[in-house]
Structure 1
Amino acid sequence: MVNRNRMVDEFVELVRIDSLSLKERQMCDTLKRKLTGLGYQPAEDDAGKKLGGQCGNIICTVKGSRDVPAVLITAHMDTVVPGIGKTPVIEGDIIKSDGTTILGGDDAAGIAVILETLKVIKEQGVSHGDIQIAFTIGEEMGLLGAKNLDYSRIYAKYGFILDSDGRIGCAAVKAPSQNKIHAVIKGKAAHAGMEPENGVSAFSIMADAISSMKLGRIDEETTANIGTVHGGVATNIVCDRVEIEGEARSRDESKLQAQTEHMRECFVKAAEKWGGKVEFISEIEYPAFNISRESEIVKILESAAADSGFAFEAVTTGGGSDTNIINSKGIQAVDLSVGMTKVHSVDEQISITDMENAVLFLISILKNIR
């Protein structure tokens, strides 16, 4: 059913498009043209205007012939850096980057699988209900497109997000909440050679705080990380200001709050010890989701896997995706694997067979909507 060569050609075409977060104009125009060529009427929402980006999210409804609940199928248009001038290399069944950039299969693979699915069901006359397609912007910057998607146009009951790694047939049904953390440590400037004792080093406060902080894997549900540090202006000045960005994640809300408070206390205690001050801000980046094994969407996935010959597996992820946001909007959604591996690195690659199987699994899902 799947036209393997066509799918590969389309994937390679999409990979070659530069599409960094909030700079997805060329990708957006290409996808709108492709959807129009299939006979559909894609629309662009105003998310780009809200976010200061080049384009909005694409929303496209494919009307079906069956009276069953509508589904939302999504993938994101943006990529991380280094993502300019991507050159895909095909070696047998594997498509990989040339080693100088990411491949961009996250999430061009999801887009290519969706487009091939639309072509196959059209060519084969596959009976289905309404399908709503959303190609989002700014996912890699904090799920910004999904947060600003025009949900007034969305009436789907179920959501299938094609943006995960793993074996085909796997679906992420649990994912954590994330708190984004921003701390500003304030010390006191002084000449580092003539009167260092009159200064208060913001770096010393930071080092004290972080050395006493629980980071990394806290437990099976919870992680924490300090990601970036910015501070200092010269070697002969005692640094009086450091800005720190970090995060805490957990699938358990009470654990998330406890970890966030622990990180705040470490900063506060260190600042008090050294005679400095700290400003600590935490805000939720995205909420957790937890789909029951007894839910309707899992039953659909189990039936689809059985029909298509794939072993279904409900998995738990430590990452966030548009799935988190879509679930928070009342649409029962899961994140499906398209087989991508080593994402966000110059070693990124994907199996052509995995993409082909992802199409077959998605078609089986559409057939099993009741």
Structure 2
Amino acid sequence: MQINTDRLAQFFTELCQLESPSKKEGAVARYLQQHCEKLGAASIIVDDSSSQTGSETGNLIVRFTGDENLNDALFFACHMDTVGPTEGLEVIRNGDIFTSGGNTVLGADDKSGIAPLLELMYLLKENDTPHCPIELVFTTCEEIGLLGAKALDTSLLKAQYGYALDSTRKGKIVTGAPAANKVKITIKGKAAHSGSAPERGVNALAIAAQAITQITLGRIDTLSTANFGLISGGTATNIVPETVVLEGEVRSHSPVMLADHTRIIKNIFQQVVKDWPHSEDDIGASLSFEMEEDFPALQLEDGEPVLRRIHSGAAIIDRPLYFDIAGGGSDANIFCGSGLRTAIVPTGMANVHTTDEQVDLNDMVALTELIYAMVTDSGS
């Protein structure tokens, strides 16, 4: 098996040049459809998730039949969207290193996963290489809340396990990632003129500040984190702020700790609001606490088929494997929550979500070698 590095580099460059910020993935979806048609895909499905995500395209599910007697079917997943800025994106290649022109992201997150998948399928077709059944899943709106994966009808997939090609953890397979709860807290006080009658007001911002000082933020313990990232409220500098809204999250690898830490935050805010001083003829402050499960935990155990398969593929090409847990959420969390066991495989991308983003062609070659070994492994 000889990887066509020039073609792989071309795929990556062309994909990056197709600007695809979240909800604008249509050009990438069309590009992938055209290539998969040339490759003789058994089916190409564009689902109806756009009605939920607001994207100009649905998720793309592509099936290649392969030999069912060779090994289990598996899927590979990548997201088509990128963060910004992307306008005027220019791909710069210096030797084997790809960067942007410096004013935009590159898009290696996640096109450094997509390009090796295209090269894989072309290699298999050109060499008429026996392979297991393969499904490719290309999602939308991953960068703005995993929306495409959340809207995906997983019954469209036949494979029971697979791999998300979407990690910066070079050389490490991610087998664990936390679950997360989103929280939105609305504190309602009472407006008053801050100069002439401040005592008539109930300052919602002051209530929020006191509550936050009692909460542990950042890393709570070895398994959990918490953060408040958005705050809004008030109407003018000379008016006691009546309403303040805070938005944040709690994450944990432990469902029990996730529930406990979320409940602690709620209890602290409730207590501060309850104890806030107010006059007898005033109802004082009130609180609205909204919690939404953002994504479930990803937890894979040794011995599962999804890990046995990647171990076997790595052994074929004599490549050591290392395993790790991550602190972020990805489409793999959603797939796992739907019963599709999914490991996260690194692509070599670095400095993602910045204008310094880059990727080494040799890392994309290494990824192609690994997934080629996995789909051609007879399992014997």
Query: What range describes the TM-score normalised by the shorter chain of this pair?
Result: over 0.9
Aligned to 2:279: none
State the secondary structure of the residue aligned to 2:19. Answer: coil
State the AA in 1 paired with 2:40.
Answer: G
Out of 299, 314, 319, the position equivalent to 1:310 is 319
Aligned letter for 2:302? R
Determine the C-alpha separation between the residues in 2 that align with 1:295 and 1:43.
Answer: 29
Distance 2:68 2:154 in 1: 23
* 1:283-338 CA distance string (max 9 Å, x none): 11111121111222212211211221321112111111111111122222111110
Alignment match of 2:310 (pick from 301, 326, 333): 301
Q: Is structure 2 residue 140 aligned with structure 1 residue 131?
A: no
8 Å contact from structure 1 (residues 300, 369) kept in 2: no
Question: SS state of the match for residue 111, structure 1?
Answer: helix
| Distance of 1:362 and 1:306 partners within structure 2 | 12
SS at match of 2:167: strand
Q: 1:195 to 1:340 in 2, by over 3 A?
A: same
- Confirm or deny: 8 A CA contact 1:190 1:199 kept in the other structure: yes
Equivalent residues of 1:66, 1:127 under 8 A apart: no
- Could you list the structure 1 runs, at least 4 aligned residues long, displaced by more than 3 angstroms after superposition: none
**Aligned twin of 2:29:** 28
Matched, 1:167 2:176: no
1:147 matched to 2:150: yes
1:75 to partner: Cα distance = 0.3
**What letter is aligned with 2:142?**
E
1:77-88 aligned at under 5 Å gives the runs 77-88=80-91
1:320 correspondence with 2:321? no
CA positional deviation for 1:195: 1.4
Q: Which residue of 1 aligns with 2:366?
A: 357
Q: Which runs of 5+ in 2 are unaligned?
A: 277-283
How many angstroms apart in 1 are the aligned matches of 2:86 and 2:261?
34
Structure 1 position 224 matched with structure 2 position 250: no
Hey, what does 1:248 align to over in structure 2? 250
Helix, strand or coil at the partner of 1:301: helix
1:212 is matched with which residue? 214
2:106 paired with 1:103 = yes
CA shift digits 1:95-120 (9 cap, x unpaired): 12233222111111111111111111
For the pair shown, the structure with the greater C-alpha radius of gyration is 2
Whole-Å separation in 2 of the counterparts to 1:233 and 1:26 = 42
Match of 2:75 among 72, 75, 79: 72
Residue matched to 1:158? 161
Aligned to 1:172, the other structure's residue is in SS state strand
- Which residue identity does 2:55 align to in structure 1? G
Judge conservation of contact 1:304–1:361 (CA < 8 Å) in 2. yes
Q: State the distance in 2 between where 1:135 and 1:329 align.
A: 17
Which residue among 234, 237, 248 is the counterpart of 2:236? 234
The CA deviation at 1:148 is 1.4
TM superposition shift of 1:273:
3.2
The Cα shift of 1:244 comes to 1.2
* Count of aligned positions: 369
Question: Matches of 1:159 and 1:250 in 2, distance apart?
Answer: 23
In structure 1, distance between residues paired with 2:175 and 2:124: 26
Given candidates 336, 339, 342, the residue that maps to 1:333 is: 342
CA distance in 1, matches of 2:104, 2:275: 45
Distance 1:294 1:43 in 2: 32
1:194 correspondence with 2:196:
yes
Aligned mates of 1:246, 1:368 — CA distance in 2: 44
Deviations 1:230-250 (A, max 9, x none): 112221211111111110111
CA distance in 2, matches of 1:88, 1:273: 57
| One-letter amino acid of the counterpart of residue 215, structure 1 | L
Matches within 5 A, 1:48-63: 48-63=50-65
Give the distance between the partners of 1:304 and 1:66, measured in 2 at CA.
17
Residues of 2 paired with 1:94 and 1:288: CA distance?
A: 34
Query: What residue in structure 2 maps to residue 38 of structure 1?
Result: 39
Q: How far does residue 126 in structure 1 lie from its aligned partner after superposition? A: 2.4
| Structure 1: runs of 5 or more not aligned | none
CA distance in structure 1 between the partners assigned to 2:373 and 2:19 by the alignment:
32
What is the CA distance between 1:363 and its match in structure 2? 0.7
Tell me the alpha carbon deviations over residues 257-306 of structure 1, each in whole angstroms, 9 at most, x when there is no partner.
Answer: 11111111222222223342211111111111211112222122112112
TM-score in terms of structure 2 length = 0.93
C-alpha distance in structure 1 between counterparts of 2:378 and 2:292, whole Å:
37
What is the identity, as a one-letter code, of the residue corresponding to 1:135? Answer: F
Give the superposition deviation at 1:140: 1.3
CA distance in structure 2 between the partners assigned to 1:368 and 1:185 by the alignment: 58
C-alpha deviation, 1:213, in angstroms:
0.8
Deviation, 1:369, is: 5.9
How high is the TM-score relative to the length of structure 1?
0.96
* SS of corresponding position for 2:24: coil
Partner Cα separation in structure 2 for residue 270 and residue 81 of structure 1: 39
Structure 1 residue 66: Cα displacement = 4.2
Equivalence for 1:3: 4
Which is further off, 173-182 or 12-21?
A: 12-21
